Every structure is written in C-alpha cells, then in structure tokens.
Amino acid sequence: MKIALIQADLTFGEPKINKENIELKLQSLDKDTEIVVLPELWTTAYDLTRLDEIADEHAKWYYEVLQEWATTYTITLVGGSTVKKVNDVYTNHLAVASPTDGIIHTYDKAHLFRLMDEHLYLKDGHKESLFTINQTKAATLICYDIRFPEWSRKAVRNGAEILFIVAEWPLKRLDHWRTLLIARAIENQCFVVACNRAGSDPQNVFAGHSLIIDPWGTIVSEGTEKEEIIYGTIDSKQVQEVRSMIPIFEDRREDIY
Ligand SMILES: O=C(O)CCC(=O)C(=O)O
C-alpha cells in the first residue's frame, strides 16, 4: 500500500482556504498513491472560539469534500478531522472516504486535550474506531489519544494492524511525539501511520515530522518541520512476521493485569 501523508500548513479558522491548499497537494500526488492521510482539524485548525460560525453542521461539507477527493484522485482518504456540530454539540470528528463506497468510517476524538481548551468546547467520543482498509484491519486515533496506550492496545487486541493518527502536535513536544509513536508501533507490533500539521497558529508552532513506522519500530518515512507530502509503502504481511519473531500476544499475562 503506497501511502501519502499531507503535512499541510493550515490557515486559522479558514476552511475554504485550507481546502484549496490541500487540493493543490492532491493534484501533485504520485499517481500510484493508494491511501492519503490529512492532519487533525485541517478545516478550521484550533479556532475553537468561533465554532458557532465555522463548525460544520453534521459534517456535511467535510463529508462532501472527502468523497469528492476520494473519487477524483482514486484514493482512500483518512480525512484528518473537522469540528462537527449536531444540535449545539461539537466533536473533533474524523471520517475515512473510499473511492467507491463513500464514507466508510467515522471516529470522534476520545481524549480531549485540555492544554488547547478542547474540553471547554468539545464533547469527547466513546466509540472504538476499527475499520477495514485494503483488506487490512485498522483503527484511527486523534493526536492526544496516543498518550493512552490502553486505547490503541484495545484496537489492536480487536484486530487492528495499522494505527492511523491525525494530529496538530506542537513542536515543543516533538520528542514525545516521536517516542510515543515508535512505542505504540513496537508494543503493538503494528504499523503506525501518523500525519501532523506544519506551520503555526496564534498559540503554537507545530512539529510536522509526520511518520510511518513499521511493526518492528523502524521508521519507514519521516517529514521535516515544513509543509510537504511524505510517502511510504507498507506491506501488512510484516505484522505477522514480527509477531512470530517475538510472540508478545501469546505471552501477555491477562491473569495478572
Ligand atoms: O499531547 C500533546 O502533547 C499534544 C496533543 C495535542 O496537541 C492535541 O491533542 O491536539
């Protein structure tokens, strides 16, 4: 599976400008790209104080844009996230669009990040996030979710072999970002495919450094801090190879945890 991570710089509170920017990147994709991942809140960025004006009613616009892109560019799109509004309740909402089957998966961020005030504006999600992509089981996580190893372990115990992560992770904690992602790959013996944003907003400079990591914990591809597209190719057979080399799922001690 050839994957592209669109590590976009985002314009604060401007969904239409962000759409145009991402569209330009999609037009320049390598033609054999199968899966594309976008950053967290690529629509509005972290402009949470203006949600009554800029949030997306039932995520209607976001779904339309993702479906149009998935069909036009013949890609499965792990569509970053947007703020979805339903009856004055807002969620950090992710969707995956397929080139043939429309929206095939949705997920609401489970762990809201209080350092960026998410808990004041958004409602947390409760549902697990499993779906199937190119015959492989996968799960989606949003940014702060990666600090909770129980959450990714649960998805992996339920079959996920790829963890897709979308993020707006600040530069000042870049070392946490890299270490946590590599740890999630090693401890779960799964692929980690993580797309962060580049650039800055009024509060933060963001880290970029989007990553594709294999089930051994080896980095397949890594971005710089700048806006760019990062490519990597993965083969889900590697999950079973690593799991047979070190059988941690056989050696777990459910009886003492
Ligand atoms: O956990 C962190 O350090 C960053 C999390 C974050 O930026 C987010 O969840 O949006």
Tell me the CA–centroid distance for residue 137 and ligand 1, in Å. 25
Q: Does 116 sit in the ligand 1 pocket, CB within 6 Å?
A: yes
Map 114-177 to HEC letters: HHHCHHHHCCCCCCCCEEEECCEEEEEEEHHHHHCHHHHHHHHHCCCCEEEEECCCEHHHHHHH
Distance 173 CA to ligand 1 centre (A): 9
Q: How far is CA 198 from the centre of its chain?
A: 14
Q: How far apart are CA 92 and CA 23, in angstroms?
A: 22
* Lookup result for tokens 């509005």: 44
Angstrom distance (rounded) from CA 152 to CA 154: 5
pLDDT for the residue numbered 51: 95
* Of 109, 118, 137, 190, catalytic: 109
Whether residue 144 has its Cβ less than 6 Å from ligand 1: yes
Question: Does the Cβ of 114 fall within 6 Å of ligand 1?
Answer: no
Which atom of ligand 1 is nearest to 204's Cα?
7
Please name the residue whose Cα sits nearest to atom 7 of ligand 1: 169
The structure's pTM equals 0.97
Give the ipTM: 0.97
- Residue with the smallest CA separation from ligand 1 atom 1 is 144
* 164 within ligand 1 shell (Cβ under 6 A): no
53 catalytic? Reply is no
168 Cβ closer than 6 Å to some ligand 1 atom: yes
Query: Can you tell me the distance from the alpha carbon of 192 to that of 194, in angstroms, rounded to the nearest whole number?
Result: 6
CA 185 – CA 176 distance, rounded (Å) = 14
Q: Which two tokens stand for residue 57?
A: 């009613």
Distances (CA, A) of 213 to 3, 68, 185, 192: 12, 29, 7, 5
Q: Is 23 a catalytic residue?
A: no
Distances (CA, A) of 144 to 41, 167, 214, 222: 13, 8, 21, 19
Q: Determine the Cα angle at 46 with ends 105 and 226, to 5°.
A: 90
pLDDT average per 10 residues of sequence, the chain (257 residues):
98 97 98 98 96 96 98 98 97 98 98 96 96 96 98 98 98 98 98 98 97 98 98 97 97 93
The verdict on the CB of residue 173 being under 6 Å from ligand 1 is: yes
Which tens digits make up the pLDDT trace of 58-108?
999 999 999 999 999 999 999 999 999 999 999 999 999 999 999 999 999
Instruction: Report the pLDDT value the prediction gives residue 96, as an integer from 0 to 100.
Output: 98
Ligand 1 atom at minimal distance to the Cα of residue 143: 9
Q: Which residue has the tokens 């560019």?
A: 73
Amino acid, single-letter form, for residue 177: W
Active site residue 60: no
CATH number of 2-243: 3.60.110.10
What's the one-letter identity of residue 93? Answer: H
What distance in Å separates the CA atoms of residue 90 and residue 48, rounded to the nearest whole number? Answer: 10
Q: How far is the CA of 245 from the centre of ligand 1 (A)?
A: 33
Are 198 and 208 in contact by the 8 Å Cβ rule? The answer is: yes
Long-range contacts of 21-25 (CB under 8 A, 24+ apart): 22/69, 23/69, 25/229
